[in-house]
Chains A and B, each alone.
Chain A
Amino acid sequence: MRANFILSEVWIGLRRNLTMTIAVIVTVAVGMAMFGVGLLIWAQVNTMKDFWDDKVEVSVFMCTKNSADSDCKGKAITPDQVTALQERLKSTPGVTEVIYEGQEAAYRRFQENQAVEKTLREVTRVEDMPTSFRVKLANPDNSDVVVKAAEGQPGVSSVKNHRDLLDDFFGLLDSLQLAAFALAIIVVIASILLIANTVRLSAYNRRRETAIMRLVGASNVYIQLPFVMEGMIAGLVGGVVSSVMLIVAKIVIFDRFQAYLAIGSQLQWDTVASAILGSLVAGVLICVLASFVTLRRYLRV
């Protein structure tokens, strides 16, 4: 192998179709950046799920004297029913803790909640507050079981599964992730076609050289390597540009997003690093494969 001979061939090839090379670099960069953003959203959703799963609980609200709920029939829950309900909740599989929250405690929490409008806080009295059980779970996926166990029991006014709220939010993130991946696939297809075209042009530009190389008995590796390396270098440069895009995305989008939502689950730099590595490797592989497959068609050896 004469490394500098092959490198000079690669350099000549890249310079000869500079515009095509730039087009390849740009599409690979955008495609890989979208792919990386998809990976980042995926990582973000996972860390957020871990964070929230510890906090998912089911609230079981009990009837009070003035309860407007039809299931209560205007009657407050009796102390016997409270004990029965607590036993029932405790014996439900997957439940780790059942905490009773009386009207006083609920009122205090309500008053502390700054999100509630001030006038509403002022007119609400202790008697208006519901009593509830807050049920903590070992595995948040089992929350439906708890909901089923509590619903329809005597003295139960309503059951609220916190998970339903989170599911909406995660659903939004999931579709963002899907959109990023879909966009990545489209752009990757475009870059594959561009690479194929570039290699074809390159093979045509150098048909004299390759014809002579075949004639004097150069091995297939020697003939094909410069073309494949052209694709590889374009892919690598595109990958580096996409890494910069991902770093910017982390700082500008993800960090701000977290500051806004105050979610306490920071996207770590090592996650960004692995997303960059993943998209870099994918970019180079796609370019090399696309070059190689095109060569088989346009460079008969």
Chain B
Amino acid sequence: MIHFDNVTKVYANQNRPALDHVSVDIDKSEFVFLVGPSGSGKSTFLRLILKEEKPNSGTIHVAGKDLSRLSNFKVPHLRRRIGCVFQDFRLLPNKNVYENVAFALEVIGKPRRFIRKVVPEVIELVGLEGKAHRMPEELSGGEQQRVAMARAFVNRPMILLADEPTGNIDPATSIGIMKVLDRINRTGTTVVMATHDAAIVDSMRKRVVELEDGKIVRDQSRGVYGQAY
């Protein structure tokens, strides 16, 4: 599903590479934790998958497509197959829960009938039934993140990227978020989650890829966060 082959990324005006000859394979419906200290290259890894950045060398395949050969014109179609969740939720403050989720479908031109059908389903999937007409400011952090996950998943993407989704949420609520991610993963969606949260990684017992200074220092299935932290 996601295939990095010897990928190096150096940002302009920087000497040290953000990713240094990284090769990794992530299969369909896998759940992968991306761990490592700040600046180790986790976010760069996710941005490369979305083709928000281009690698300096190496090739990246996502959903069977070589990103270097994907024209800019087709990048939106790639992104429709990838859902994204962030630490800061990124909801639209002037739209309610339903509208925030529906927005993701409206802007890719889905018919209204389809939107009316799938949005309530996905709101229920993330556990927000009955809160469709709340505004984001009326929701707790955990609930806001659930809205963001509903928005990321409403178009049934093949891949869900989560960049520290529990970073702004207390540990008790984080468990709920992880349950939703696990539920999404069980529908066959590949989930890649970058995180600092050792407790979560340890409890989930999923594959762990550890980055340090842009290099993969550990890749183990059913791993834990590691001793150093």
Chain A residues in contact with chain B, CB under 8 A? Answer: 1-2, 5, 208-209, 211-220, 222-223, 301
Contacts and interface: CB of A to CB of B under 8 A. Distances in A.
Nearest to A223: B107
A211 B90 contact: yes
Given A208-B90, A208-B92, A220-B76, A215 B109 contact: no
Nearest to A211: B90
B92 A209 contact: yes
B79 interface: yes
A209 B67 CA distance: 25
Contacts of B83: 216
Interface of B: 50, 72-73, 76-84, 90, 92-93, 103-104, 106-109, 111-112, 151, 155
A217 B80 CA distance: 5
29 contacts: A1-B109, A2-B106, A2-B112, A5-B106, A5-B107, A208-B92, A209-B92, A209-B103, A212-B104, A212-B151, A213-B107, A214-B76, A215-B50, A215-B84, A216-B80, A216-B83, A216-B107, A216-B108, A216-B151, A217-B76, A217-B77, A217-B80, A218-B76, A218-B107, A218-B108, A219-B108, A222-B107, A222-B109, A301-B72
B92 A216 contact: no
By secondary structure, the A interface counts as helix
B106 A215 contact: no
Contacts of B106: 2, 5
Nearest to B90: A212
Contacts of A208: 90, 92-93
Most chain A beta-carbon neighbours within 10 Å: one of B78, B83, B93, B106 = B106
A89 to B, nearest CB: 74
A211 B103 CA distance: 12
A212 B148 CA distance: 11
Given A1-B109, A222-B107, A222-B109, A216 B90 contact: no
Contact of A2 (B50, B84, B109): B109
A45 B103 CA distance: 57
Contacts of A217: 76-82, 108, 155
A84 B155 CA distance: 98
Nearest to B106: A5
Contacts of A222: 107-109
Nearest to A208: B92
A301 B112 CA distance: 25
